[in-house]
Amino acid sequence: MSLNYNRVMLAGNLTRDPQVRFFANERAVANFGLAINRRFKAADGTQQEETTFVDVEAWGRTAELVGQYLTKGRGAFIEGRLKLDSWDDKDGQKRQKLKVVADTVQFLDAPRKPGDPAGQPAAGGDASDYAGAPPASSAPSAPARAASAPPPAGDDEPPF
């Protein structure tokens, strides 16, 4: 039996503004970079940090929304798959590049609106929040409620 599974989940900050292109069939593609920081304690006990830079590609409506709402420095959570591009460069050398093709992009922070206090982060959302979908309720999600308050007395259902 052959088992194949290609799934990637990354959270980080954009390293550059997304570049969005439209094809003749009006399908969009957005390319951007993501920086993911990892903090760890080295063998000598000092705190270390390493950054991994990943190229990301999004298609369709997701690409349009990424281009419209994300900018350099903004946080994003990406779910997608790895893709290896191969080509011959102008000198005839074989070249390869590994990137992530995003299936979903969730915005981890929202752009500040004029008049918002400088120290107050805005709420995040995903592409559906910006695609004309009705606004999400301001009440916390069920798992968040379950973590912050005990279930009602006499309730046999799990709190999520």
Domains in the chain: ranges and CATH: 8-148 (2.40.50.140)
Tell me what the mean pLDDT of segment 33-60 comes to. 94
Is the sign of the CA dihedral 157, 158, 159, 160 positive or negative?
negative
Residue 72 has pLDDT above 70, yes or no: yes
pLDDT of 102-145, one tens digit each? 999 999 986 656 655 544 444 445 554 444 433 333 333 333 33
Residue 128's SS3 state is: helix
Banded pLDDT at 158 (limits 50, 70, 90): very low
For the chain, the straight-line distance linking the first and the last C-alpha, in angstroms and rounded, comes to 36
Position 113 scores a pLDDT of 62
Tell me what the mean pLDDT of segment 34-47 comes to. 93
d(CA 159, CA 151): 6
pTM of the model: 0.66
Tell me what the mean pLDDT of segment 71-82 comes to. 96
Residue 58 has pLDDT above 60, yes or no: yes
Residue 83 has pLDDT above 50, yes or no: yes
Position 112 scores a pLDDT of 59
Position 154 scores a pLDDT of 47
Position 30 scores a pLDDT of 97
